[in-house]
A and B are shown apart, each in its own frame.
Chain A
């Protein structure tokens, strides 16, 4: 009976959303009909041509110089250039959840795992973990050129840390990670304030954007993504380390 009522409620919501999305009245506008929207008036067109202030020229990879964003990856130019304040909020949310985990289960001795790990597995896991760290750093440094960015890069770094924590009974995340995490959070806001001082808007780009497609291009995007990558990597490594701690005195 309960499941029937739940299915009925879900169906009612489905009907409601469909009718709202398909409605075409003055007060309630849903999704417009396919092909009837002038895309040139939408904001996404301006993001793709990297020019919010008009001047919709063509962007050519490897040739266009001094574009407004200068990032070859459109997603990155939106996430870290036009919507950087959102990203600052996301980093804050992640910081708060990592702090919550640390308060609830952090501290104490290293937990000894009930399995014994073969030395061959242990040593090869260290090699793989090193490769993972390098790959994570590659992903967040090249965030403005290739898919990926700070969050996936940091998560891959944390996966390398997880591998090292799993195979070694005495391994702890270094204490310096906590310092790194706090410093990177501070530096992100400092970059934003520098933009405020130089150009007049918080987190605005104030470095030269260079040629589209170069490693050293896109202004503050590589800087901010490196900051985010290091911060997320340190945060999630600390979080995993909390899970491997036992309750009690250190």
Chain B
């Protein structure tokens, strides 16, 4: 259990840094989604299912979709 949460914590930190430093916005969005997804696992390990459900539906699901839709819209505006 301890090793699993340790690995998850490290991957969360690394993917957050990649999300900030990545040149392409698409990479940032995918990394942010990965961060949320791993946060869900760590919330379940910490026995907080309420927060885990909210993070899974809002953080990993809808926010990623909205970011992708915004990115698509921005790309169209910039290329004009």
Contacts and interface: CB of A to CB of B under 8 A. Distances in A.
A155 B70 contact: no
Given A243-B69, A243-B73, A151 B62 contact: no
A81 to B, nearest CB: 15
22 contacts: A73-B50, A75-B50, A105-B73, A147-B50, A147-B52, A148-B50, A148-B54, A149-B50, A151-B54, A152-B54, A152-B57, A155-B54, A155-B58, A155-B61, A155-B62, A158-B62, A159-B61, A159-B62, A162-B65, A239-B66, A240-B66, A243-B70
Interface in B16-70: 49-50, 52-54, 56-58, 61-62, 65-66, 69-70
A156 interface: yes
Residue from B49, B56, B57, B70 having most chain A Cβ neighbours under 10 A:
B57
A162 B64 CA distance: 12
Interface of B: 49-50, 52-54, 56-58, 61-62, 65-66, 69-70, 73
Across the A-B interface, give the 10 residue pairs with the lowest CB-CB distance, nearest first. A147-B49, A155-B57, A243-B69, A75-B50, A152-B57, A152-B53, A147-B50, A148-B53, A152-B54, A155-B58
Contact of B58 (A147, A151, A162, A240): A151
Nearest to A3: B21
A76 B54 CA distance: 13
Contacts of B58: 151-152, 155
Q: How large is the interface on A (under 10, 10 to 19, 20 to 34, 35 or more residues)?
A: 20 to 34
Contacts of A149: 50
Given A147-B49, A148-B53, 5 more contacts: A76-B50, A147-B53, A159-B62, A240-B65, A244-B69
Contacts of B70: 243
Contacts of A139: 53
Contacts of A244: 69
A76 B70 CA distance: 33
Nearest to A239: B66
A156 B61 CA distance: 9
B57 A159 contact: yes
